[in-house]
Amino acid sequence: MSNVYVVGIDMIKFGRFPERTVENLGAEAALMALDDCGLSIRDMQALYCGNQGQAGALVGQRVLKEIGQTGIQVINVANACATGATAFRDAWISIKAGLYDIVLAVGVEQMGKGMLGGGPSDGISPEGILGSYSMPAVFAHMGMEHARKYGTTFEQFAKVSVKNHHHSTLNPKAMYQKETPLDEVMNSEMMAYPNTKLMCSVNVDGSAAAVLCSEKKAKELGLLQRAVCVRGSALQSDPYTTYNLAMMDFNAVTRLAAKNAYEMAGVGPEDINLIELHDCFATAELVHYENLGICQDGEAGRLIDSGATALGGKIPVNVSGGLLSKGHPLGATGIANIYEITTHLRGEAGKRQVNGARLGLTHVVGAGSACAVHILEKA
């Protein structure tokens, strides 16, 4: 099976674009990724398009109507917040399978403002009767589980938000470029303890796209110079745990995906130079430090305290600003994370460059649950 390379990749600056359409946003990222490697839609053999909000409405075909209807296979995928990474992985699989040599993956979402979910479909909404199913509360429960086991504090969770907002000041493509000191994070509106408003990801519109290519084709096209190799790819659903009866699981599913991705890549967490992980809420980032194996169980609070996961630290996490400040357009997030890692491996990340980065890891989870982990290496 051929090695698979990312040869072109880009994302739009995340923001709010109510005057545009989802296909228009997707098309922009697609063209940017094609421009990144100097290719055209006519060179692409298939399109894998990730979008959650309009999953039934053939977004990929609509993207092609904006950039060129070449008649290629289009696969539309939805997998909650793991949607973009799922489209990327499907693209990767198609090259691994030997079916195609060069394909395009696009992730796009138009979100609007406000909290996800909440509308009762039938009967009455159980929200506030059977506890809370709002995402800030679901991920508050995840943090409280960690607090129960290890004594993790409100302040430690809040530090994640301080760090990622700081990182985003160095990323012009992030929704926000604004410092949020610890007292501001801790004193912002409480949503569900310990998640304050500044510890919740930003709902934004966005898109990102990648051109994936076989080794043979990349050599033929002379594109190996800036290419990044996909060393590991794993996508899992949540294995049963007893707490599934009452809580969505993001832990067992992440551990399983991480294990499989590390094994495929033949590396361990100690080999990874930087990580973009799913900080949909500040609580989640700390728990995922342990799920991804960058520290021992129970050590995540101390890891954030040590500064190791900040830019300049031993294992920088979410140097892009993360979902907390870069923004979280569901379908785009998985490919935007891969864009961030690729940019560092290429040495093109400017002021936020992680020096000497050779191996990076991306992680996303979708509620319900899905988890995708990719390990990328400088070619």
Q: Is 193 among the residues that bind another protein (CB under 8 A)?
A: yes
Vertex 60, ends 33 and 111: CA angle to 5°?
A: 85
Nearer to another protein among residue 2 and residue 188 (C-beta) = 188
Among 1, 56, 129, 222, binds another protein (CB under 8 A): 129
Residues in a beta bridge with 363: 373
Q: Is 301 among the residues that bind another protein (CB under 8 A)?
A: no
- Taking 3-state DSSP, the helix, strand and coil percentages for the chain, each rounded to the nearest 5, stand at 40, 20, 40
Burial class (CB in 10 A: 0-12, 13-18, 19+), 249: buried
CB atoms within 10 A of CB 148: 9
Q: Residue 253 Cβ, how far from another protein at the closest point, in Å?
A: 14
Catalytic residue among 167, 288, 328, 344: 328
* Stretch of residues binding another protein (CB under 8 A), selected from 84-92, 125-133, 179-187, 257-265: 125-133
Among 19, 42, 225, 245, binds another protein (CB under 8 A): 245
Q: Is 153 among the residues that bind another protein (CB under 8 A)?
A: no
* Stretch of residues binding another protein (CB under 8 A), selected from 4-12, 98-106, 114-122, 370-378: 114-122
Q: Is 1 among the residues that bind another protein (CB under 8 A)?
A: no
Beta strands in the chain (DSSP E): 4-11, 46-50, 73-77, 102-109, 190-192, 195-196, 206-214, 228-237, 274-276, 359-366, 370-378
The count of residues in the chain is 379
Catalytic residue among 37, 49, 81, 229: 81
Among 38, 65, 69, 243, binds another protein (CB under 8 A): 243
Q: Quickly list H helices, 177-329.
A: 182-187, 215-220, 252-265, 282-291, 300-306, 322-325
81 in catalytic set: yes
* Stretch of residues binding another protein (CB under 8 A), selected from 74-82, 89-97, 185-193, 335-343: 185-193
DSSP 8-state code for residue 339: H
Q: Is 189 among the residues that bind another protein (CB under 8 A)?
A: yes
Among 115, 179, 220, 268, binds another protein (CB under 8 A): 115
Q: Is 242 among the residues that bind another protein (CB under 8 A)?
A: yes
Helix (H) or strand (E) holding 92: helix 83-96
269-297 as b/e, with b when 16 or more CB fall inside 10 Å? eeebbbbbbbbbbbbbbbbbbbbbbbbee
* Stretch of residues binding another protein (CB under 8 A), selected from 96-104, 184-192, 224-232, 269-277: 184-192
Catalytic residues: 81, 328
Which residues of the chain form contacts with another protein (CB under 8 A)?
A: 114-115, 117-120, 122-132, 134, 136-137, 140-141, 144-145, 148, 189-194, 240, 242-247
